[in-house]
Structure 1
Amino acid sequence: MLKRQGVLAIAGLIAIFSVLHVVFAPDTHDPRATGTTLLGGIAFLLMTCSIVLSTRAPVLEDWFGGLDRMYQTHRVIGVLAALFALVHFFGVPKELPAGIDPAQNPLVPSAPLGMLGLIFLVIGLFIALNRKIRYSLWRPTHKIMALVYILIVGHFFTAPQVFVVQFSPSGFLLLAAAGLGIVSLVYSIFGMNKRTAVPYTIEAVNTLERATEVVLKPTGPHLDFKPGQFAFVEIAGKGWSEPHPFTISSAPSDGHLKFTMKVLGDWTRKVREELQPGGHVNVRGPYGRFDATGAGDKQIWLAGGIGLTPFLSKIRAMQPGDKRQIHLVYAAREAQDAIFLDELKERAAQLGNVTLVPLFSDEGNFARVEMMKQKLPNPLKSYDYFMCGPKPMIEGLMKDLKAEGVPRRKIHTEAFEFR
């Protein structure tokens, strides 16, 4: 669930800048200059926030509720930044006011830098939001946003004093943001992957029904993670260049790291058909805040298809004596699609506090609120819900649970989308 701290921090930053910009606007500014430069400053601050989020800092995960929510925010504020930048570009005066010395207030190179930045911003935004572009092409081309940010920083630093006073209260805030943005940009492109990489070797590649389990053996320190977290997997070798995020399906105490991947596209198909034991893998993480340990004693874990993986890690890590009463609702198309079903039945019997509810759509059983009303021993509002699965299923369940009076704070989902 998206937490408010991060969003409120961004909103507070924008509010502070807006007040400083308007209250301390130079006397030479007319309302148009003040308003359009305000919009430009807000666009720049939103771009900076977007870049800071790309560093994947753990403290930011706490503020936003996980890396998945950070990426959602990253995408939204990127779109807002583009909209503010467009209004700024079309609204800002294109000529110096009468009587202003052009030698002391040159429009070049600020104006060309701003125009180039806007052009590349629109191109980059189109690429970022176009889901038809393959991930292998999307990921490197998305880095065009780094060029956009550099151009916008140059646009701000070289802007004529008649429009922008860099050493005003709001200007100092933008200068500080630029410094933080540049540091974050350099770190996210050149330093983050090296710092967070944990090396593994491939021990086994197990073929399952419509999924593949990859078992990794550490070559050094084992990744320290919590059940329900995910990591980025980057396989060494030609044709395996881009990292992909997957939920960890093993328990933290397991000596190996396991990822269970549904065959959805070219990359996961290649994993199934070509990946061999002995290869080298870098794992970066862990990420995510899909944690059920701090919730109430009555919990519903609802998994749709491959959405089982975070719950698989949780149930593998759980020990007898756990005081929670958990109903694990596992929805699949048919029984043979329900991977690890026998293991889940065995673990539920061992633990005693887990009730397994398999639902197969070919038998007419679907994960719906009406079904839960029939099968659950307590009122719906008495449970905390943790859900992971296909987006339409999760959105439908959330809508129906809210209609039944279940508070939003008791519904936890993982938004596993990163583009």
Structure 2
Amino acid sequence: MLRLQGINLIIGTIVLFIALHLTFAPEHHTVRTTGSTLLGGISFLLMTFSVVLATRLEIFEEMFGGLDRMYQVHRVAGTFTAVFALVHFFSIPKELPPGVDPVLNSTFPSAQIGMASMVLLVIGLFVALNRKISYSRWRNPHKVMALVYILVIGHFMNAPGIFFERFSASGILLIVAALTGTVALVYTMFGMNKRTAMSFTIEAVNSLERATEVVLKPVGNMLKFKPGQFAFVEIQGKDWSEPHPFTISSAPNEDRLRFTMKVLGDWTRKVREELKPGGEVIVRGPYGRFDASKTGCRRQVWVAGGIGLTPFLSKLRAMEDDDDREIHFAYAARNKEEAIFLGELEAVAATRDNITLYPLFSDEGDFARIDVAKKRLPGGLTDYEYFICGPKPMVEGLMKDLKTEGVKRKAIHVEAFEFR
């Protein structure tokens, strides 16, 4: 669930900037100049937050509720960055005010830098929001946003003083933001991957029904993670350099790391058909806050749809003998043949009194729906906390219906596995 702590930090920073910018606006500013520079500053602050969130630091996971939520905020902040920047661009006075040296301004061409950054920003936003462009083709062009950020800093730092007073209260805030964002950008590009990378070798590649389980053996230390977390998997070798996020399906106390990948596209199909034991894999993580053990509610409903089973596999495999939570586990698949690890789930449920398993097969007319839950769950729907992972339509439908039934949003936990 998205946490408000991080959102409040963004809103608070922008409100502070607005207050400083309007309260201490230079006397020579016109209303148009004050308003347009205000929009430009807000755009830059949003872009800075996008850059900072790209560091994937754990402190921000705590503030926003997990890396998946951070990327949602990153995407929304990037979109509004472009919106505010466009309005700023069209509203800023195009003629230099009286008293500004045109020769000096041509030596430091703020306007030209701003134009270049605007064009690149709009192109980058189009690419980012265009779902028809594959992840592999999107990933490298998206790195151009680092150049855009540097250009934006150059744009306002070279702006004539009539537009941007560097040592005004709001100007100092923007400079601090620029320094923070630059450090974050350098870390993301040159330090993050090195700091988080852990080496593994491929021990086994197991073909399942429409999925593949990859078993990894650590070269050095084992990755420490919590059940429900995920990591980025980067297979080494020619044509394998592109990292992909997958939920860890093994338990934290195992000496091997396991990922279960549904065959959805070219990359996962290649994993199934070409990946062989003995290869090297770099794993970066762990990330995510899809943790059912930290909630205060002992009555829980787990809903897994298809490959959304993987975080729950890790939870079940890590469950202690004295765990007294009452867990109702609905596992939805097309049919029994496609219900991977169903035998393991049935075995666990048979040996534990606190777990009730509900296999739901759509081919038999059994779906993960609220009307089904109301018939099978003891007590009312509001007596439980819900953990849901699966196809987006299933997750969104269940969330909507649960809230209609009076279940509070904070009692509904979902894995928002989207990074574009």
**What TM-score range do you get, normalising by the shorter chain?**
over 0.9
Measure the CA separation in 2 of the matches of 1:68 and 1:54: 11
Measure the CA separation in 2 of the matches of 1:391 and 1:7: 23
8 Å Cα contact 2:100-2:160 kept in structure 1: no
8 Å Cα contact 1:105-1:161 kept in structure 2: no
1:147 aligned onto 2:147: yes
Could you say what secondary structure the match of 2:191 adopts? helix
Measure the CA separation in 2 of the matches of 1:150 and 1:212: 42
8 Å Cα contact 1:46-1:77 kept in structure 2: yes
Two-structure CA RMSD over aligned residues (Å) = 1.0
Measure the CA separation in 2 of the matches of 1:230 and 1:39: 37
How far apart are 1:378 and its partner, in Å? 1.5
1:373 corresponds in structure 2 to: 374
How far apart are 1:230 and its partner, in Å? 0.2
How far apart are 1:103 and its partner, in Å? 4.6
Which AA in structure 2 matches 1:240? W
1:251 corresponds in structure 2 to: 251
How far apart are 1:98 and its partner, in Å? 3.3
Identity rate, percent: 66
- TM-score, normalised to structure 2, is 0.98
Could you say what secondary structure the match of 1:234 adopts? strand
How far apart are 1:106 and its partner, in Å? 5.2
8 Å Cα contact 1:226-1:252 kept in structure 2: yes
Alignment CA distance shift 1:71-1:127 (3 Å): same
Measure the CA separation in 1 of the matches of 2:101 and 2:194: 50
1:274 corresponds in structure 2 to: 274
Which AA in structure 2 matches 1:322? D
How far apart are 1:107 and its partner, in Å? 8.1
2:183 corresponds in structure 1 to: 183
1:82 corresponds in structure 2 to: 82
8 Å Cα contact 1:121-1:145 kept in structure 2: yes
Measure the CA separation in 1 of the matches of 2:215 and 2:99: 72
1:198 corresponds in structure 2 to: 198
Extract unaligned runs of 5+ from structure 2: none
1:386 corresponds in structure 2 to: 387
How far apart are 1:347 and its partner, in Å? 1.2
Alignment CA distance shift 1:17-1:271 (3 Å): same
8 Å Cα contact 2:226-2:252 kept in structure 1: yes
Task: List per-residue Cα deviations over 1:112-146 (Å, max 9, x = no partner).
Answer: 00000000000111111111111111111111101
Alignment CA distance shift 1:161-1:107 (3 Å): farther
Extract unaligned runs of 5+ from structure 1: none
8 Å Cα contact 2:300-2:387 kept in structure 1: yes
1:29 corresponds in structure 2 to: 29
Which AA in structure 2 matches 1:196? T
1:132 corresponds in structure 2 to: 132
1:362 corresponds in structure 2 to: 363
Measure the CA separation in 2 of the matches of 1:245 and 1:363: 32
1:225 corresponds in structure 2 to: 225
Measure the CA separation in 2 of the matches of 1:335 and 1:222: 34
Which AA in structure 2 matches 1:60? F
1:121 aligned onto 2:121: yes
8 Å Cα contact 1:110-1:156 kept in structure 2: yes
Which AA in structure 1 matches 2:92? V
How far apart are 1:319 and its partner, in Å? 1.7
- TM-score, normalised to structure 1, is 0.99
How far apart are 1:69 and its partner, in Å? 0.3
Measure the CA separation in 2 of the matches of 1:258 and 1:108: 54
2:416 corresponds in structure 1 to: 415
1:70 aligned onto 2:70: yes
Task: List per-residue Cα deviations over 1:39-98 (Å, max 9, x = no partner).
Answer: 000000100000000000101000100000000000001000000000000000011123
Measure the CA separation in 1 of the matches of 2:74 and 2:101: 41
How far apart are 1:105 and its partner, in Å? 5.3
Aligned residue pairs: how many? 419
Deviates more, 1:89-98 or 1:275-284: 89-98
Equivalence map 1:317-328=2 (5 Å): 317-328=318-329
Deviates more, 1:93-102 or 1:368-377: 93-102
2:402 corresponds in structure 1 to: 401
Measure the CA separation in 2 of the matches of 1:99 and 1:197: 54
Measure the CA separation in 1 of the matches of 2:105 and 2:28: 13
Alignment CA distance shift 1:218-1:100 (3 Å): closer
Which AA in structure 2 matches 1:223? L
How far apart are 1:101 and its partner, in Å? 3.9
Measure the CA separation in 1 of the matches of 2:386 and 2:333: 18
8 Å Cα contact 1:373-1:380 kept in structure 2: yes
1:302 corresponds in structure 2 to: 303
Which AA in structure 1 matches 2:289? R
Measure the CA separation in 2 of the matches of 1:107 and 1:400: 61
Which AA in structure 1 matches 2:326? Q
How far apart are 1:35 and its partner, in Å? 0.4
1:262 corresponds in structure 2 to: 262
Could you say what secondary structure the match of 1:182 adopts? helix
Measure the CA separation in 2 of the matches of 1:364 and 1:161: 69
Measure the CA separation in 1 of the matches of 2:309 and 2:226: 16
8 Å Cα contact 1:320-1:350 kept in structure 2: no
